[in-house]
Chain A
Amino acid sequence: DAKTTQPNSMESNEEEPVHLPCNHSTISGTDYIHWYRQLPSQGPEYVIHGLTSNVNNRMASLAIAEDRKSSTLILHRATLRDAAVYYCILSWGPGANNLFFGTGTRLTVIP
């Protein structure tokens, strides 16, 4: 499995932007970058995914480095509901088959 490296934890003030980094120096050309999050007592929830270009959706933005060896998940305005463990995951193709979740980043949102 291609591995990712994320900080164990981060804090953010409510209503401020959050930048969650992820390093994936061993990424291959066909690997997709997925972000999922897990709220307390819930199953994982899809956030966003990308391959080469930056991506935006209603939940977040994904900024992918030009060499694809790192990416950043951007939450534009953190809310208390965004407190969760965020997982940066590489997969050899699109889809949720054989996702390697790793330890993720625990985001704490401070009111």
Chain B
Amino acid sequence: EAGVTQFPSHSVIEKGQTVTLRCDPISGHDNLYWYRRVMGKEIKFLLHFVKESKQDESGMPNNRFLAERTGGTYSTLKVQPAELEDSGVYFCASSLPPGPNNTEAFFGQGTRLTVV
């Protein structure tokens, strides 16, 4: 069974450009999460989808970031326009519906974004 897949693995863009990151969750996982680690800091939560609905987007830093999950399958995270401080590693994770005996989230390997 394939794990969580993220595309691209690396992206280098100029300040002011637009970048779209993609995440393909594990098949059947309705819960999808975006996290990121920027500038050598801690990994921080961005948002949580349940199917196509945004369940919690409290971690989204500003309106330059737009996450979508049309159809409840794969998700995209668009940064427009990108700024230097957006550089970092963006992780996607997916899981089954959370429950006391089912809390495991499976993370992808991340997309390393460099804004120059």
The residues of A with any CB-CB pair to B shorter than 8 Å are 32, 34, 38, 41-46, 49, 51, 87, 93-103
The residues of B with any CB-CB pair to A shorter than 8 Å are 4, 31, 33, 35, 42-45, 48, 55-56, 58-59, 91, 93, 95, 98-100, 102-110
From the candidates A45, A94, A98, A102, name the one contacting B45 in the complex (CB within 8 A): A98
Establish whether residues A51 and B100, one from each chain, have CB atoms under 8 Å apart when the complex forms.
yes
From the candidates B31, B103, B109, name the one contacting A42 in the complex (CB within 8 A): B109
Given A43-B109, A97-B98, 7 new contacts (CB under 8 A): A46-B106, A49-B104, A94-B102, A98-B59, A101-B43, A102-B42, A103-B42
Q: Which of A32, A95, A99 has the most CB of B within 10 A?
A: A95
- Contacts A95-B95, A96-B33, A98-B56 given; indicate if A46 touches B104 (C-beta within 8 A): yes
Establish whether residues A100 and B93, one from each chain, have CB atoms under 8 Å apart when the complex forms.
no
Establish whether residues B42 and A32, one from each chain, have CB atoms under 8 Å apart when the complex forms.
no
Q: Which residue of A lies closest to B105 (CB)?
A: A96
User: Considering the chains assembled together, what is the distance between the CA atoms of A85 and B1 in angstroms?
Assistant: 26
From the candidates B58, B98, B99, name the one contacting A96 in the complex (CB within 8 A): B98
- Contacts A43-B109, A44-B107 given; indicate if A96 touches B42 (C-beta within 8 A): no
Question: What number of residue pairs across chains A and B have CB atoms under 8 A from each other?
Answer: 70
**Would you give 14 A-B contacts (Cβ < 8 Å), ordered by A?**
A41-B109, A43-B107, A44-B35, A44-B43, A44-B91, A46-B105, A49-B103, A94-B102, A96-B33, A96-B98, A96-B103, A97-B45, A97-B48, A101-B42
Nearest 8 CB-CB pairings of A with B: A95-B98, A96-B105, A43-B107, A101-B43, A94-B98, A46-B104, A94-B103, A97-B48
